[in-house]
A and B are shown apart, each in its own frame.
Chain A
Amino acid sequence: MKSLTNTMRVAPYVFVAPFLVAFLCFYLYPIGTTVLMSFQNVVPGQTSFIGLTNYARIVDADFLDALRVGFIYTFLTIAILVPLPIVFAVLLNSGAKRLNAVHRAMFFLPSLVSVVVAGTVFRLMFASTDKAIINSLLKLVGINPVDWIMGGAPQAMFLMVMLATWRWLGVNLIYFLSGLQSIPEELYEAAEMDGANPVQRFMRITLPLLKPTIIFVTTISIFGGFAMFEESYMFWQGLSPNNVGLTMVGLLFKRGFQQGDLGMASTYGLVLMLIVFTLSILQLKLFGFFKKED
């Protein structure tokens, strides 16, 4: 009997041990190393501490470009990938079950394929020739062919945001659908009896009760938006003209792997983490997330 209570005391720690090991090896140690390297000039064999020098020289043209791309991209993806899936989710939450399931699957399908596959199709659809499908469609409404990939910053941003919208709308739709399903049906019935029209019901019941999901989706969009790398890499392989596709992770990649400046790259990583956490906390404050707890 004693050995049984003993295992009961020890067992929980055995169960959680894999996480503790992984946390130490793949999170704590790398984060520690990153902090350390951000104060160093890392040259194989003669690494030296240089204090805050990396931080002092962080603001350069590349950094500002990456920051701009990060902010615009994050802002646009949130502006699209929160309201649009909410509309689709509301429409798909009532009506004919079978039809809804088919539509849901169609929206979700793009999130299944690899970003490389998505990037390949987008490159071909948005090819710069006037015969490519997007430019042909534009010609139908009288717009001249656009050089999407190499044409400039607005086109580049459009491509990245479109790719992200295509890949993630279905996922956010699922989040909002599950949020909607947790809203009690009685609320709508009561509102209907009080004579509330569908718009009023949406504004007064659906949106407020969907708030936790909106907060969740916005938070993951902030993290995903600033940590974006792949969407850009698909179009320019890390070398975009005039930095139109340069992101913070792209910059980290460039400094770290292409130029071998690990110290500077680490500094970018930490600054990125700082931006992302600050913005998330600001966002949570904005939504009044912390009020509940006090």
Chain B
Amino acid sequence: MAGNHSRFRPFWLIKYPLLFLAALVFLFPIVALVMATFRTGRDLMRFGITFQTLIPQSFDLKNYGYLIDGKDGLYLSWYKNSLIVTVFQTGFSLFLSSLVGYGLGVYRFVGRNAIFVLVLFVMLVPLQILILPLYSMMIDLGAMDTYWGAMLPFLVSPFAIFFFRQYAVGIPKDYLDAGRVDGLNEYAIFFKITAPLMAPAFGAMAILMAQQSWNNFIWPLIVMRTTQMLTLPIGLNSLLTPYGNNYNMLISGAAMASLPIIIVFFFFQKYFLSGLTTGGIKG
């Protein structure tokens, strides 16, 4: 059952068609989204996604045009905001979380276990519960409606700490000792010797955190106030109003917002999957 028997088995004639059918059901909404981008917003508003939607009569790119010139180019501002927040949040979080994970994984020191338990505890506390005090804090800091405000609570990621820690535990101590013999101090050892060794962990976490930041919803919904400052998910969501939904921009905007992650996924699938698993279950 487990392992990789690649010899053909008759059972495959039932298994793969069934799996393929199930997988198609899961892929369907994404295909439907892409096909719907060629329909007018009015059509989508009136009928939703229909059987006809799935077979476009023409590949009309008008909806994509609205992304550039609709609402004074607002969509492009949202894209820029999302890029800025994602790049900086991922960068800071990788740097800070790897330091902590490395420290916990490599050194024995008083308080290490207590700190590790705190990391595990914090991983379980849903951010949603703390949004009110965090919101007041952002007001006090003057961080409302700023990129900083959108990033601050995520600059150190407990999950990434955990992941880096699991990875760092496996680094042979000889590497560190070799560095010490060469007269490097502990920080130089991290930057010159061990951080490069942890490259796969950096890859996995970069992808996972960038994806989470790109798709983050509840926090930027609270922090970002003016329409120019919204990130993509919040901006797209703002197109749904009680007075009617701007599906022209929403549908093509949704497709374009998903494109970068899907492209990255196809090139770095391995990192995506290892980012989820390596730290996930092994205590």
Question: Can you list 29 A-B contacts (CB < 8 A)?
Answer: A11-B187, A12-B112, A18-B100, A18-B155, A19-B156, A23-B122, A26-B130, A26-B156, A27-B130, A91-B19, A96-B12, A97-B4, A109-B265, A112-B265, A114-B236, A114-B257, A116-B217, A116-B236, A116-B254, A117-B255, A125-B29, A125-B48, A132-B50, A133-B51, A171-B276, A178-B277, A180-B2, A188-B2, A198-B1
A12 CA to B111 CA, complexed, in Å: 10
- The answer to whether B281 touches A175 (Cβ under 8 A) is yes
- The answer to whether A179 touches B281 (Cβ under 8 A) is yes
Residues of A within 8 A of B6 (CB): 95-97
Q: A88-B19, A94-B1, A114-B257 are in contact. Are A109 and B30 (CB under 8 A)?
A: yes
- The answer to whether A227 touches B126 (Cβ under 8 A) is yes
- The answer to whether A15 touches B23 (Cβ under 8 A) is no
Could you tell me which B residues sit within 8 Å of A by CB distance?
1-6, 9, 12, 15-16, 19-20, 22-24, 26-27, 29-30, 32-33, 36, 44, 46-54, 96-97, 99-100, 102-104, 107, 109, 112, 115, 118-119, 122, 124-126, 128-137, 152-153, 155-156, 158, 161, 180, 185-187, 190, 211, 214-215, 217-218, 222, 232-234, 236-237, 240, 247, 250-251, 254-255, 257-258, 261-262, 265, 269, 272-273, 276-277, 280-281
State how many residues of chain A have any CB contact under 8 Å with chain B: 106
Could you tell me which A residues sit within 8 Å of B by CB distance?
4, 7-9, 11-16, 18-23, 25-27, 29-31, 33-34, 37, 88, 90-97, 99, 103, 105-110, 112-118, 120-129, 131-133, 136, 166, 169-171, 174-175, 178-181, 183, 185, 188, 198, 201-202, 205-206, 212-213, 216, 223, 227, 229-230, 233-234, 237, 249, 252-253, 256-257, 262, 265-266, 269-270, 272-273, 276-277, 280
- The answer to whether A4 touches B185 (Cβ under 8 A) is yes
Residues of B within 8 A of A96 (CB): 6, 12, 16
Residues of A within 8 A of B32 (CB): 121, 124-125, 133
Residues of A within 8 A of B112 (CB): 12
Cβ-defined partner of A27 (8 Å) among B48, B97, B122, B237: B122
CB nearest to A179 among chain B residues: B281
A190 CA to B125 CA, complexed, in Å: 43
Cβ-defined partner of A30 (8 Å) among B103, B133, B222: B133
Q: A175-B280, A181-B2, A223-B124 are in contact. Are A170 and B161 (CB under 8 A)?
A: no
A201 CA to B3 CA, complexed, in Å: 14
- The answer to whether A178 touches B124 (Cβ under 8 A) is no
A33 CA to B52 CA, complexed, in Å: 54
CB of A200, distance to nearest CB on chain B (Å): 11
CB nearest to B115 among chain A residues: A16
- The answer to whether A16 touches B12 (Cβ under 8 A) is no
Interface SS of A by simple majority: helix
CB nearest to A34 among chain B residues: B133
- The answer to whether B2 touches A105 (Cβ under 8 A) is no
CB of B15, distance to nearest CB on chain A (Å): 6
Residues of B within 8 A of A175 (CB): 276-277, 280-281
- The answer to whether A185 touches B27 (Cβ under 8 A) is no
A125 CA to B50 CA, complexed, in Å: 7
Residues of B within 8 A of A213 (CB): 281
A30 CA to B35 CA, complexed, in Å: 45
A133 CA to B122 CA, complexed, in Å: 42
- The answer to whether A13 touches B109 (Cβ under 8 A) is yes
Residues of A within 8 A of B128 (CB): 227, 229, 249, 252
The 8 closest A-B pairs by CB, nearest first: A127-B48, A15-B103, A132-B48, A11-B186, A30-B133, A22-B156, A106-B23, A227-B126
Q: A114-B232, A229-B218 are in contact. Are A269 and B132 (CB under 8 A)?
A: yes
Residues of B within 8 A of A113 (CB): 30, 215, 254, 257-258, 261-262
